[in-house]
Amino acid sequence: MSNKKKLLRYADLGKYKNVFEPDFVNSSDPFSLKGFWAERHFENTNPITLELACGKGDYTVKLAALNPDRNFIGIDIKGDRLWHGASQVERMNLINTAFLRIDINYLRSYFAESEIEEIWITFPDPQRKSKQQKKRLTNPRYLEIYREILVAYGKVHLKTDDEGLFEYTLATVSSEGCELMEEIRDIYAKAELRKELKIKTYYEDKYLQDNRPIHYLSFQFPS
């Protein structure tokens, strides 16, 4: 995509009421929706699900369409990517969906303790080099952030085509004392699959065309 087109989408992003781009450069005030996302933005008391590094928001949008009794927030740092999800949500009139343009490292600045019920991590950058392990979204330092904002029974879901990241996450979940709830290797080899796992992103379709198996796991933190 050309830089000009990206800039146009950045500018266009501001018109969507379902997109939040916090700017604390000139303000020391805390984020107003922290602890009050359901009541103040969604205007309900439904549980909240986050999709981290959501990209174009494919999974966020489709999860929201499948679950109108839940609230969904897609998070990514790239505004031109979020533009796709935001425009799709507006066309579909999905009132249970929002997008937040922030760095995932600062999740605790935007969500209160025990405010989130579920987290989805779909096809994140596997950060294959050993020195990049701390950047993996299932690294212990990230898990500590998730633990704080999730309710006690909250789940983390990972869907990936990368065998190395999948094995790394299984090992991390075990070493951190988390409870592995479900583990499915090559999910499309199963005869039956939950509707949430049948959702395909743009990149997932490409991976499947290349005959790359897709793996899934979910886990909970210890009480």
- Residue listed under structure tokens 């490409």: 206
29: which residues sit within 8 A by CB, 6+ positions away?
A: none
Q: Give a yes or no: residue 202 inside a domain.
A: yes
Q: Give a yes or no: residue 103 inside a domain.
A: yes
Q: Give a yes or no: residue 116 inside a domain.
A: yes
The domain that holds 162 is classified in CATH as 3.40.50.150
Q: Can you give the pLDDT at residue 134?
A: 92
Residue type, 164: G
Mean pLDDT of 31-42: 95
Position 1 pLDDT exceeds 50: no
pLDDT tens profile 134-176: 999 999 999 999 999 999 999 999 999 999 999 999 999 999 9
Q: In what order do the strands lie in the sheet with 179-184?
A: 19-20, 97-101, 71-76, 48-52, 116-122, 150-160, 215-220, 179-184
- The string of DSSP letters for 169-192 reads HHHHHHHTTPEEEEEESSGGGSS-
Token output for 211: 């005959």
Catalytic sites, residue numbers = 125
Q: Give a yes or no: residue 26 inside a domain.
A: no
Domain tally, the chain: 1
pLDDT tens profile 105-120: 999 999 999 999 999 9
Q: Give a yes or no: residue 111 inside a domain.
A: yes
Q: Can you give the pLDDT at residue 213?
A: 95
Q: Give a yes or no: residue 86 inside a domain.
A: yes
**Band of residue 6 on the pLDDT scale cut at 50, 70, 90:** low
Q: Which domain holds residue 65?
A: 3-21+31-220
Q: Can you give the pLDDT at residue 8?
A: 52
